[in-house]
Structure 1
């Protein structure tokens, strides 16, 4: 997502979209699956670990980009994989904030379905609503940080307007929600399989011991 977000796919007077929307839906689907089975706290912890791995990967990319080479001109490679620090900053802040929003909202909506908490309708509502709202804040926070605050300074005056950021957030959230709807049956089957096979029973036992203590 960090690499794809460096490219603006569409920019009009009222809307702008970056390449990150092509894959960000997958991270939200994973969070929804984990939240449904393990709870919002576990999903948020996994998200934090994911961010840590992402930062380490970006560091490795950066080191690779600054190592000089006499074999050929790697300017394009260095520019892409070296990354832009404020793109990384924006994506990290946006992802952490939206992850917490998505996970808590997903869990809260799920609690409203007391009669059939594991049914298809309950899974659909908790994932669709939380994904749309979470993705909106992910896109909005990222675009505001990167394209409104930092881009005009470091990208020769290139920037997005707040209106473009808002429409990007709404449109991106809609597109990512569509992907979630298409692939949510897979996520639903995974949660059913995990429950049937008692996946994570050690974690649940640990949580219960912690509560008892």
Structure 2
């Protein structure tokens, strides 16, 4: 009988060991990573979710939502974290940001349904309450694009053998991964929200597939321009991190654990 149960018990024990290891690794990362970058990252994800409720431009061939105004900051933070701490660290922080965003949306929703006799808060309640399928679309799109962006950024960076820490290497890995990541983010979000759910829950309002694709391309291009403008600042910050050995405890741990 023991032999019959041993495979499942072994799997459970393996999962527990893995989970404990991941918790310890995440705790170490959070102690080592600069709080300012994490804060900017989390705030940008929350703002991106709120701004996505508004369509800024819609014509027969293009549509853009308000999320493009801030999503570039999320990707710049991920690129900085990936460069210094690695893609796994950046993806971990992305999951943390998504979780905080979901918790924030829950608090907003609770606030929106609490009645008040002080004034008419209908408009504010509509903003705070949000729309569930927008939250679903933005969360799925962000997590998928974040993982792709982080590992693509890391892979491109490893191709620069002579000067991996130079400006050219940082620019190439950042620009390419940002454009592709943003394209995937915008495309997944617009298809989930404006093609699948909006026609059902928003009285027939919808985007066409062409609008989704052009939104993804245009949004990615616009966010890439913002990345180009602000990436020198990101490069300077990352360079300072390396000079000052920021997060060295985590880097040493990862090197010993995986090499």
Q: Tell me if TM exceeds 0.5.
A: yes
- Note if 1:10 corresponds to 2:65: no
Could you list the structure 1 runs, at least 4 aligned residues long, displaced by more than 2 angstroms after superposition: 208-212
Match of 1:20 among 39, 49, 67: 67
- Which residue number in structure 2 is paired with residue 169 of structure 1? 216
- Note if 1:95 corresponds to 2:132: no
The separation in 2 between residues aligned to 1:112 and 1:211, in whole angstroms, is 20
- Note if 1:83 corresponds to 2:137: no
- Which residue number in structure 2 is paired with residue 45 of structure 1? 92
Structure 2 runs not aligned, ≥5 long:
1-47
Structure 1 runs not aligned, ≥5 long:
none
The separation in 2 between residues aligned to 1:40 and 1:80, in whole angstroms, is 34
- Which residue number in structure 2 is paired with residue 197 of structure 1? 244
Q: TM-score, normalised by structure 2?
A: 0.81
Q: Deviations over 1:161-210 (max 9, x none)?
A: 00000000000000000000000000000110000000011111222343
Q: Deviations over 1:65-98 (max 9, x none)?
A: 0100011111101101111000000000000000
Match of 1:154 among 201, 208, 211: 201
- Which residue number in structure 1 is paired with residue 258 of structure 2? 211
- Note if 1:66 corresponds to 2:110: no
The separation in 1 between residues aligned to 2:154 and 2:256, in whole angstroms, is 22
- Note if 1:180 corresponds to 2:244: no
The separation in 1 between residues aligned to 2:50 and 2:159, in whole angstroms, is 38
Q: TM-score, normalised by structure 1?
A: 0.98
Match of 2:188 among 124, 137, 141: 141
Q: Deviations over 1:130-166 (max 9, x none)?
A: 0000000000000000000000011010000000000
SS at match of 1:6: coil
Cα root mean square deviation, aligned: 0.8
Q: Deviations over 1:40-61 (max 9, x none)?
A: 0000000000001101111110
Q: Name the structure, 1 or 2, with higher relative contact order (CA <8 Å, separation 6+).
A: 1
The separation in 1 between residues aligned to 2:164 and 2:75, in whole angstroms, is 20
The separation in 1 between residues aligned to 2:215 and 2:71, in whole angstroms, is 14
Count of aligned positions? 212
- Which residue number in structure 1 is paired with residue 154 of structure 2? 107
The separation in 2 between residues aligned to 1:137 and 1:177, in whole angstroms, is 13
The separation in 2 between residues aligned to 1:208 and 1:165, in whole angstroms, is 41
